[in-house]
Amino acid sequence: MNPVFRRSADDPPIPGWDLPTTWDVERYTGNLQKGVPRAGLLSVTYRSDDEQLDVRHELRRRFTLSGVPRSVETNH
C-alpha cells in the first residue's frame, strides 16, 4: 500500500509512482530491463488482517526483498 519512490534522499517523491511490472523478474515478459534499481529509496506500507502465516511468508518470499542477503560491495 502507498508506494513512494525517490531517486535519491534529496529528490522529492515521484508523483503517481507505482511499482513497475519490470521489477517482477520472474513474470515480466516485456522488452525493458528487468529488476529493481540499485539506487533509490522505496517506502511501502504492509498490512495484513489475516492470521495465515504460511500464506504471508510465501507472499513475502515472492514479492519482497525481505530476507534477501545484501550484495557485498568492496571499495578499492
Q: ∠ CA 70-22-10 to the nearest 5 degrees?
A: 60
pLDDT in tens, the chain (76 residues): 889 999 999 999 999 999 899 988 889 999 998 988 888 999 888 777 767 888 878 887 887 776 666 666 555 4
Cell numbers 504460511: residue:
54
In a domain, 73, yes or no: no
Length of the chain: 76
Stretch (H or E) spanning 22: none
Task: Please state, in angstroms and as integers, the Cα–Cα distance from residue 8 to each residue in 13, 36, 40, 48, following that order.
Answer: 9, 15, 5, 29
Q: Whole-model pTM?
A: 0.55
In a domain, 25, yes or no: yes
* Structural domain count, the chain: 1
